[in-house]
Amino acid sequence: MKNLIISIFLFIGFSATAQTNLDSLNQVWLDNTQDDKARFKAMKTQLLDDPQGYIYTNPDTAIILAKQLKELAEKKENLKWQAEAIYIQGLSRSRIGDDSIALIIVSKSLTLFEKINDKIGMANCKLAIGIIYENQEKIEEALDQYLQSEKLSKDLRYKWGLAKVYHNLAYLSEYQGNILESLRYFQHSLKNYEELGNKNKISYTLICLGNSSNYLGRLNDALGYYQRSLKIIEESGVDRNKASIFNNIGNIYFSQDNNAKALSYYQKSLKTYADGGFTEGKEGKHAESIAWVLRNIGDVFYLQGKTDEALENYQNSLELNNKIGHKVGSAKVLFDIGVFYAKERDTIKALEYLESSLILSEEIKSKNSLSEILHNLGLIYNAQGDSEKALVFAKRSLLIGKELSSPWYIQYAANALKEIYKTQDKGLLALEMYELEIQMRDSLNREEINNGLIQMEVEHEYEKKELLAEQEHQQEIFKKNETRNYLIAGVSLALLFSIGILSRLRFVRNTNKKLDIAKTRAEKSEQFKQQFLANMSHEIRTPMHAISGMVNILKRNEHPTTCLLYTSDAADDLLCV
């Protein structure tokens, strides 16, 4: 299985178009008749803004050219230009590994940006200082600078700055072993790159998200990210990240025991690097990636029983990592060689390589490597009869696996502890570890992932063929269907217009009907009201007149005055209703 969180840098090569662009910019810079502002911009683009700029491809040259840029800025007494030129000098120093000098230079640039209150320049400088601190393994200082850069970029709504700072915060979280937090930062970075529409950065960030998801055992998510990145590459025709994607898809096939498919993708990855003009002897971040692929191929060969080929690839990978000073890669390959010798039952060499890997991993504080190394050391010492020492290593491995929230590492640590507890005749503890091992293994959902892999490959091949066919026949199809399309469009518009008119007429008709019904109901209601009042008036007044008449007759006949008065008053009151 592969638990690789590889900080794969963009594959950068000089294309003919890019070189032509840099040559034209250089001509502007060398032309003293040009406006100084145009000359400054041309040189700055050559150094920093162009993806093929000298700061990325030839930082030594960038240092010299940045000095010339600074001289122009001082001549014009332009503080912003001076700050930008000094900033480029500092970045160039950092690219060649001279971080102490780089920190001093970038800090000078920051002071100038603060003086002129250029907050974008300040945000960029703080990000650069954070990267330098991270290179020096000053993690707290790096985090502080990143967070300051993030705040400035948020206040300014500076999306490019936010995308970059989130990317570096993701790497820092990954380095500290907090993969869930790293995943969230990569998602924030992706959102900003998508809003900027930078397809190359989107593709690269999708790869990083795939790596983090793969590490967490979310293999379907990882496949989805890789597939999206590959689709962008196919559509744009830029192969910068394809080698990395092939390697990572190979990792997933390897984790699902499909070694033939894994080897096929690893070899595709290696070929893509070679086709891009990169060889194992070249230095740079591409060399790190090639070393990873060689290590992966060694793993596959070993499982296929090809031990000589496996050891050869491991040794080539270790040699390349040592040559470029990539300690993380060296620690991983030392671990692989140690496991190789352990399986070959050469425990002396196995412990030698594993303990070397442990020392290096402790030095670089790589929790990912530590968990793997510790559980293997636990198994070896247990096999040698030293179960107490084995228990210490295995328990620490499980603790780190839980800190990293990795089902892979938890599963393997639980397996080692199960074997150790069995050796110590601690049946209940052994059963508990066995249950944990099974729980982690089931969570990876192997069958579902295999189906996802097959589906992804089929869909990708189909999309490639469909895109190619569309490009080849697009002009012919357009000519054949142009008239028909216009006709269909015209008929469709007329139909839509007719439907709209009919709908409107129907609506008006229905509304009028409802109004007529409401009017009729109101009129009837008024009629009922008037009729009711007339009826009530008639029913009350008629008998009251009779009462009044009778009272008058009684008065004439000299009946008691009080009774007649009450009766008369009541009749008068009713008549007033």
Q: What angle do CA 198, 122, 107 make, to 5 degrees?
A: 120
Mean pLDDT for the chain?
A: 79
What pLDDT digit, counting tens, does each position of 309-329 carry? 999 999 999 999 898 888 888
Helix axes 285-303, 259-275, angle to 10 degrees: 150
Q: Which residues fall within 8 angstroms of residue 56, CB to CB, at 6 or more apart?
A: 12, 95
How far apart CA 81 and CA 61 sit, in angstroms, is 19
Of 186 and 502, more confident: 186
Whether 368 shows a pLDDT value over 70: the answer reads yes
Report the pLDDT value the prediction gives residue 233, as an integer from 0 to 100.
Answer: 83
Report the pLDDT value the prediction gives residue 44, as an integer from 0 to 100.
Answer: 84
Q: Which residues fall within 8 angstroms of residue 221, CB to CB, at 6 or more apart?
A: 209, 210, 213
The mean-pLDDT minimum among 353-362, 409-418, 436-445, 568-577 falls in: 568-577
The mean-pLDDT minimum among 164-168, 202-206, 274-278, 446-450 falls in: 446-450
Q: What share of the chain is helix, strand, coil (3-state, %, to 5)?
A: 85, 0, 15
How far apart CA 379 and CA 387 sit, in angstroms, is 9
Report the pLDDT value the prediction gives residue 546, as an integer from 0 to 100.
Answer: 64
Query: Shortest CA distance to 112 belongs to which of 67, 68, 74?
Result: 74
Go through 485-496 and write b for each residue having 16 or more CB atoms within 10 A of its CB, e for each that does not.
eeeeeeeeeeee
Report the pLDDT value the prediction gives residue 3, as an integer from 0 to 100.
Answer: 38
Whether 278 shows a pLDDT value over 80: the answer reads no
How far apart CA 341 and CA 353 sit, in angstroms, is 9
Report the pLDDT value the prediction gives residue 315, as an integer from 0 to 100.
Answer: 93
Report the pLDDT value the prediction gives residue 459, as an integer from 0 to 100.
Answer: 47
Report the pLDDT value the prediction gives residue 184, as an integer from 0 to 100.
Answer: 94
Instruction: Please say whether the beta carbons of 340 and 317 come within 8 A.
Output: no
Whether 284 shows a pLDDT value over 60: the answer reads no
Report the pLDDT value the prediction gives residue 121, as an integer from 0 to 100.
Answer: 92
CA 26 to each of CA 52, 61, 75, 92: distance values in angstroms, whole numbers, following the listed order = 13, 13, 20, 18
The mean-pLDDT minimum among 1-15, 177-191, 320-334, 480-494 falls in: 1-15
Whether 8 shows a pLDDT value over 50: the answer reads no
E-state strands within 187-280? none
The mean-pLDDT minimum among 222-231, 394-403, 463-472, 532-541 falls in: 463-472
Of 12 and 475, more confident: 475
What pLDDT digit, counting tens, does each position of 233-254 carry? 888 765 657 888 888 889 888 8
**Mapping DSSP to helix (H, G, I), strand (E, B) and coil, where does residue 241 land?**
coil
What pLDDT digit, counting tens, does each position of 50-93 carry? 556 778 778 888 888 889 889 988 998 999 999 999 999 999 89
Instruction: Please say whether the beta carbons of 404 and 396 come within 8 A.
Output: no
Report the pLDDT value the prediction gives residue 18, as an integer from 0 to 100.
Answer: 44
Tokens coding 218? 């979310």
What pLDDT digit, counting tens, does each position of 429-469 carry? 989 999 998 888 887 655 455 545 554 554 445 445 444 55
Report the pLDDT value the prediction gives residue 481, as an integer from 0 to 100.
Answer: 57
What pLDDT digit, counting tens, does each position of 507-520 carry? 667 766 766 676 67
Report the pLDDT value the prediction gives residue 187, as an integer from 0 to 100.
Answer: 94
How far apart CA 72 and CA 83 sit, in angstroms, is 12
Report the pLDDT value the prediction gives residue 46, as an integer from 0 to 100.
Answer: 78
Report the pLDDT value the prediction gives residue 235, as an integer from 0 to 100.
Answer: 81
Report the pLDDT value the prediction gives residue 447, as an integer from 0 to 100.
Answer: 46
- 123 confidence band (pLDDT: 50, 70, 90): very high
Amino acid (1-letter code) at residue 358: L
pTM of this prediction?
Answer: 0.55
Helix axes 179-196, 199-215, angle to 10 degrees: 160
Report the pLDDT value the prediction gives residue 236, as an integer from 0 to 100.
Answer: 72
Tokens coding 118? 């250029």
Report the pLDDT value the prediction gives residue 364, as an integer from 0 to 100.
Answer: 82
Report the pLDDT value the prediction gives residue 195, as an integer from 0 to 100.
Answer: 93
Of 438 and 405, more confident: 438
Whether 20 shows a pLDDT value over 90: the answer reads no
Q: Which residues fall within 8 angstroms of residue 332, CB to CB, at 6 or more apart?
A: 292, 295, 357, 369
Helix axes 179-196, 159-175, angle to 10 degrees: 160
